[in-house]
Structure 1
Amino acid sequence: MDDMRYYYEHQAIPNLLNSDCCKQFLDNLLREKEQFLVELYYIVHRGYDDYKCPYDVSEFDVTPLVFDGMDKAAIRISFPPPEGPGLCGRAYICHDENFENLRYYTLEADHNRKFSIGEWTIEGGLIVHKNHGEAPIEQQAEWYKIIGLYIEYLNSNLHEGI
């Protein structure tokens, strides 16, 4: 498994989403899209001399999505094809109209190149992974599954009084 890529997808992005620079991260992602994801590789790996990002801008896709009839949205990130288990094919950053109530969902490859849906959160200062089971094969069904998970999260927060 590519440890640097795994760190990028499963540690760096969740940390940015839960940091003081979250808004700047999301602004840059929406404005610069694929180019920003490549630049982020260089930022994340700045401690490595002569680091060269192994991916080209054309291997990424950043697409803003809107939940029909709702004030909720997501940013879908398509990564280069996963080269091994645990790496992501896609990720969704779900948010409300104020870019709050963020959730980061990933589609992670297994040993058989099937995908499962993961969710990365920070709880008590630690990054926590939740597995939501096998991902649907069709991309539209995948999107509906992500919407359902996000709405479930929002509803659980309403009932808890958060």
Structure 2
Amino acid sequence: MTYCVALKTNAGMVFLSDTRTNAGVDNISKYRKMFTWEVPGERAIAMMTSGNLAITQAVISLLQEHIDKPKEGIDTLLTADSMFRVAEIVGDAMREIQQRYGTNIAQMGESTISSIIVGGQRAGGGMRLFHIYSAGNFIEAGEDTPYFQIGEHKYG
């Protein structure tokens, strides 16, 4: 029952997400689906997730682990030189987690389909908004379509 929407305007960005999940008629829970990272005066990044909760939680955990335990030569959300690079980092993490768990989850008859909206701004750069797909590929919001929505659109 996830629903998330992000909108890029001339004045800023808006990110909205619910907290409900539904893994069946009798299994309704609340989980955080919006995550933020900020280096004051340097960058602000927001991310929202939908789809397979185990996959999206693992992606967020992997991204945070890279921030907490940085490795030389490896970009993180907080060291990327552009928002495009941030989208690539999120896509790479999605691909890694899908490769790690996807086959086993699929063998159990479950879907690993997941989506992430990531947006933000670096100092000196413009606001950018991306939709990351399960395969790690992504598209960017533009003037004609300045928003993305993921999850159950009927709730939006």
**Same fold by TM-score greater than 0.5:** no
Higher helix share: 1
**Normalized against structure 1, the TM-score is what?**
0.31
**Whose RCO is larger (CA < 8 A, sep 6+)?**
2
**Normalized against structure 2, the TM-score is what?**
0.32
